[in-house]
Amino acid sequence: MSRQATPARAAASRIGRRAAVVAVVVALGAGALLWHSGRPAAPRNVLVLAIDSQRTDRIGTYGSTRGLTPFLDELAARGVVYEQAYAPSSWTLPTVASLFVGKYPSAHGATRFFTSVRAEETTLAEVMAAHGYTTWGLTTNSVIQPNAGFAQGFERYEMLGELTMRNPKADGGLINDQLLRWLDEEPAAPQRPHFVYLHYMDVHAPYRPHEGITAARDDAVGIADDDLNVRVLTGSRVKEPDLQKRTWDFNDVQVARIADLYDGEVRYQDDVLRRLFAGLEERGFLDNALVIVTADHGEELGVHHTFYHGTSLFDPAIHVPLIIHDAGAAPRRIATPVQIAGIGALIFARIGIERPSSFHIDPVPDAEAPTRDTLVYSELVESGQIYVWQHKQALTGATTKLLVTSDDQYLTIDRAADPDELAPRADDSAPLRAALEQTVASINQPHEPAPVVELDAATQERLRAAGYLEHE
């Protein structure tokens, strides 16, 4: 299905009071790409790529030895790599809304299924359009569809793919093809600079096997890959009064097969991105471009007895890649914890646009913080559809982490002694609790709930097939 947004509604008078966050990118310049040596004057193209469900521990520049991301690793070698970047939540809708409006989920209110970004928000795309940019968005994720407010400010915004219950995600090659087609259709002159947001779904469950990429099956797995995927998405239901919970019961061989399927998707996605950048370079799009790379969230693969995402605020769910390539910026690595919802404010600074006052989240920093006590906030507001809800809030620092469980217990993690977060300990840490209370107090809560979106039956079917909604 493909839908096109109405023209951007942004007006200069709205920019001072609304927000916009610029996005997630999945691949930055490197290798064969021709990046210019001096930082150019604005305006210039801005490309934001989001890889849905991408864990950091599968990417070579983040320490993986699996060899799954040769292209991303090339890009990272010439970019700025943020080693500890965190998403504002652990599933797509609230995170992308935060990226677009520069607020935490509890402030913008788009935290439950069937809720929309408010029309009165100023989005990143609206700000860019008001400053002369074309604004294009492409997604293969039905959660951020046009009629849920995500098309606000985009001249063109399409959800791609003829998706079905058996095939709930479209191939990333469709995004590549559509973007390159749009570029080829442009008049030769005069050319406006582009702001482009791309949201790829290839890594997201259900995980497809790819011939020549995915590891061979072990006969001991015992059940078909399709059945494994269904169980990853749905788990087993445990009914309790007024609630259904999911549990997952896989043996070690099945867990290994799930990881192999996931890894195959990561490797396939890397190839999709290589083809995209080759096409963009051929068309001159990347000359002087600002490119940013990240993911909307990570993925649980059984370490904490859960699978999928949107259930916890452990690192596998919120620690995401963030790679930024900007012409003239020296390659480097930054270890300071950062919040990816501050990417929009960073982009405004890079291209010379005044940051709207409605962008509450500080920009991603250009350099290391002077101290090691930076804490990054994430939250998981109960969605109404996810049946394992472990955490409400998290504060993540370089050495320690505070988690607040769904039943209001406070847990701390020593990140050096327990890097896999296997043994959170009950600890009423006064400094951490004070920092959390200060952060929560600074978040402007919405005056009224985000509006409800009416979804047609076909869209609900696709969301159910991708694990977002309850299976009948």
The pLDDT of residue 114 = 77
> Please, are residues 344 and 333 in contact by the beta-carbon 8 Å criterion?
no
Helix H segments across 330-429? 343-351
Please tell me the predicted confidence (pLDDT) of residue 164: 61
Per-residue pLDDT reduced to its tens digit, 274-328:
999 999 999 999 998 999 999 999 999 998 988 989 989 999 999 999 999 997 7
User: Which residues of the chain register pLDDT less than 70?
Assistant: 1-43, 163-168, 188-190, 236-246, 372, 384-387, 428, 446-449, 454-455, 458-472
Packing angle of the helix pair 173-185, 252-282 (nearest 10 deg)? 10
- DSSP H helices in 224-309: 225-234, 252-282
Q: Structure tokens of 139?
A: 């997604």
The CA distances from residue 101 to 8, 107, 144, 377, in Å, are: 15, 10, 14, 16
* Structural domains for the chain: 12-235+252-370 (3.40.720.10)
What is the predicted pLDDT for the residue at 384?
A: 66
Helix (H) or strand (E) holding 307, with range, is: strand 307-308
- Quickly count: other Cβ atoms within 10 Å of residue 63's Cβ: 10
Which pLDDT score is estimated for 169?
Answer: 82
| Sign of the dihedral defined by the CA atoms of residues 251, 254, 256, 258, in that order | negative
DSSP per residue over 410-435, as a string?
EEEEETTT-TT----EE---HHHHHH
Model pLDDT for residues 59-74, shown as the tens digit of each residue: 999 999 999 999 999 9
Phi, psi angles (nearest 5°) of residue 393: -145, 155
What pLDDT is attached to residue 397? Answer: 94
The phi and psi torsions of 82 (rounded to 5 degrees) equal -95, 115
For residue 19, give the amino acid letter. A
Please name which of 338, 184, 208, 356 lies closest in space to residue 272, comparing C-alpha atoms: 208
